[in-house]
Amino acid sequence: MLWSELRDLKDEIDYGTPPRAGPVVTLTIDGQSVSVPQGSSVMFAAAQARQSIPKLCATDTLEAWGSCRLCLVEIEGRSGFPASCTTIVSEGMAVRTQSEKLQQLRKGVLELYLSDFPAEDVEGGWSEFHEALAQCGVTSHPYDAIETHLDSDVDASNPYFLFDPAKCIVCNRCVRACEEIQGTFALTVQGRGFDSKIAAGMDEPFFESECVSCGACVQTCPTQALVEKSLFEGEYSRG
């Protein structure tokens, strides 16, 4: 069985990274003792302790990527603010998932993402991105819209789902799902920096690419950039 079928679906918990097998390691998360297999991530241990760490690029059906910088934590005896999804647990480790500084850092990260996200789609959204915004108390951003991707064309070529680049944060989850879950390798990230974007095939419409419409990319997208057409009545529009 897949890990997604074995995890605690009753509580709809996403542990952020896949489970590991091995000797048990005991650590503390926000003062709470928790034991997980050696090789587990701090994010996995926190989820096991029911301590929610906001995340965007991480999900327990894919290997850790560590790109969104939202899941930062504090670890006693270590400097900086490591990403919990790529930090491996160790015996006796003491982790703090909540503090004023962590809240400030996470707020800054989300405000940057929000500066290039359709404002009309912030209120009332149901994606993981919207959950992270609510969790960190972010509803707006302080930045001027000098250059954005908000005018990007929607790709509605696939009969089952559409891709709205204006809502894409290039977290790579769709690309990784296409590779790790489906094995199709139909998606890539093209360009660098601000010009980075998700591309199907040779930067062609989804329906004309190697995409097999399996839905793995849609299921894993945290921002509703990839979304099933059946969720909308009539023509799709932002807002």
Q: Write out the residue range of the structural domain in which residue 196 sits.
A: 161-231
**How many domains does one find in the chain?**
1
Does residue 178 sit within a domain? yes
Which three-class secondary structure string do you get for the chain? CCHHHHCCHHHCCCCCCCCCCCCEEEEEECCEEEEEECCCEHHHHHHHCCCCCCCCCCCCCCCCCCCCCCCECEECCCCCCCECCCCECCCCCEEECCCHHHHHHHHHHHHHHHCCCCHHHCCCCCCHHHHHHHHCCCCCCCCCCCCCCCCCCCECCCCCEEECHHHCCCCCHHHHHHHHHHCCCCEEEECCHHHCEEEECCCECHHHCCCCCCCHHHHHCCCCCEEEHHHCCCCCCCC
CA distance 235 to 213: 20
What pLDDT is recorded for position 233? 81
Radius of gyration of the chain (CA): 18
Which residue in 115, 216, 228, 111 sits closest to 164, CA to CA?
Answer: 228
Which residue in 177, 171, 211 sits closest to 57, CA to CA?
Answer: 171
Bridge-based pairing state of the strands 74-75 and 94-96: antiparallel
Does residue 11 sit within a domain? no
What pLDDT is recorded for position 7? 56
CA distance 169 to 4: 24
Does residue 79 sit within a domain? no
The amino acid that residue 64 corresponds to is A
What pLDDT is recorded for position 155? 97
Does residue 201 sit within a domain? yes
What pLDDT is recorded for position 9? 47
The CATH number given to whatever domain includes residue 182 is: 3.30.70.20
Does residue 67 sit within a domain? no
CA distance 220 to 178: 10
Does residue 165 sit within a domain? yes
What pLDDT is recorded for position 237? 77
Does residue 153 sit within a domain? no
CA distance 110 to 143: 12
Contact (CB, 8 A) for 217 and 174? yes
CA distance 179 to 62: 10
pTM of the model: 0.91
pLDDT by 10s per residue, the chain, length 239: 444 545 554 457 899 999 999 999 999 999 999 999 999 999 999 999 999 999 999 999 999 999 999 999 999 999 999 999 999 999 999 999 999 999 999 999 999 999 999 999 999 888 999 999 999 999 999 999 889 999 999 999 999 999 999 999 999 999 999 999 999 999 999 999 999 999 999 999 999 999 999 999 999 999 999 999 998 887 887 76
Does residue 31 sit within a domain? no
